[in-house]
Structure 1
Amino acid sequence: MADFAIRPALPADGSFLADMVVEAANWRAGSTRPRPAVLADPIFRGHIAGWQRPADRGVVALDGEGRPVGAAWYRLFAFDEPARGFVATGVPELIIGVLPLWRAQGVGRALLQSLTDAARSAGFARIALSVEHDNFARALYRSEGFTIVATAQGRDTMVRLLA
């Protein structure tokens, strides 16, 4: 396993979280959705606009030299402005991004575990996410207790019970 540490996300991490939104959008090898196009998408923009709102929580993975290499965070979305993994008001939706060189080294799992622990500690009973059908991360999510609750347009909405 690679040498990395996890710390809480801070208000100053907004720019790095935007980078991780772009990584999340470009998870396929060779994917080239440019940063401006990704950040112009209202769904992706919704995950970072105004970071850090009072209910927002996140974690950042740092390499051995303290450089950020991945992040996972959650937000609450309103019924009239849902994200792709929206299941209900009051259920946070997470997003996760890891730099390509750090994928498949345990960073994503560590981020996911740390973030679900934070959501549980904050009193949430469930946490949700959205993932494309062919994204290899689906196996990670299933292994961490997420189950599919809805499928539409090539994406699964997955939920994990935290209680």
Structure 2
Amino acid sequence: MSEFTVRSATPDDGQFLAEMVVEAANWRPAPARPRVTVLADPNYAHYLSGWQRPADRGVVATDASGESIGAAWYRLFPANAPAHGFVSVGVPELIIGVRHIWRAQGVGRALLRELVGEARRAGHSRLALSVEQGNFAAALYRSEGFDVVSGAGVRETMVLNLR
């Protein structure tokens, strides 16, 4: 089950990105947050609304049969409509979701590395994300150079310097 490829996300991937937002929100095995609850949360909705705006970039992982198994994407948010890991205007925030059965197989790391490359090519100097405390993905982010810049309550905001 370890064969996969990564491609650029397109406007047609919006529905799959919604599935990956739900996967990201449900990183714990149980209890799962219902899809409708996750997608109704304004903070999660920011990652999807109007996909694919001109500055949006993303990548999708597909298995050997061509089925989408994970995605990572970033967006820019205004100060008056931030998402979970907002740092400042002009700093894109990323989100990653991987189907449960594909976790811990390198999919998230491959998606993250490809998206970091996209951000560098687009000229961004930093990339931000938010991770719930206790989420094993935080170790992945730290290993790829992200540093915690704030952490109140159940979430930490992490930033990667791209320069």
Alpha-carbon distance in 2 for matches of 1:37, 1:139: 27
Q: Which residue of 2 aligns with 1:84?
A: 84
Q: How does 1:129-144 map to 2 (within 5 A)?
A: 129-144=129-144
Q: Which residue of 2 aligns with 1:154?
A: 154
Q: Which residue of 2 aligns with 1:117?
A: 117
Q: Which residue of 2 aligns with 1:128?
A: 128
Q: How does 1:43-58 map to 2 (within 5 A)?
A: 43-58=43-58
> Residue 105 of structure 1 aligns to which amino acid in structure 2?
Q
Alpha-carbon deviation of 1:31?
Answer: 3.1
> Residue 32 of structure 1 aligns to which amino acid in structure 2?
A
Q: Which residue of 1 aligns with 2:27?
A: 27
Alpha-carbon distance in 1 for matches of 2:51, 2:31: 26
Comparing 118-127 with 28-37, greater Cα deviation is found at 28-37
Alpha-carbon deviation of 1:30?
Answer: 2.0
Structure 2 SS opposite 1:109: helix
Alpha-carbon distance in 1 for matches of 2:122, 2:114: 12
Structure 1 gaps of 5+ residues are none
Q: How does 1:52-67 map to 2 (within 5 A)?
A: 52-67=52-67
Alpha-carbon distance in 2 for matches of 1:99, 1:140: 16
Alpha-carbon distance in 2 for matches of 1:80, 1:103: 34
Aligned alpha-carbon RMSD (Å) = 0.8
Alpha-carbon distance in 1 for matches of 2:161, 2:85: 15
Alpha-carbon distance in 1 for matches of 2:68, 2:32: 21
Q: TM-score, normalised by structure 2?
A: 0.98
Q: TM-score, normalised by structure 1?
A: 0.98
> Residue 38 of structure 2 aligns to which amino acid in structure 1?
V
Structure 2 gaps of 5+ residues are none
Q: Which residue of 2 aligns with 1:18?
A: 18
Structure 1 SS opposite 2:150: strand
Q: Which residue of 1 aligns with 2:36?
A: 36
Deviations 1:85-138 (A, max 9, x none): 111100000000000000000000000000000000000000000001100000
Alpha-carbon distance in 1 for matches of 2:71, 2:80: 27
Between the two proteins, the alignment pairs up a number of residues equal to: 163
> Residue 117 of structure 1 aligns to which amino acid in structure 2?
G
Alpha-carbon distance in 2 for matches of 1:141, 1:31: 24
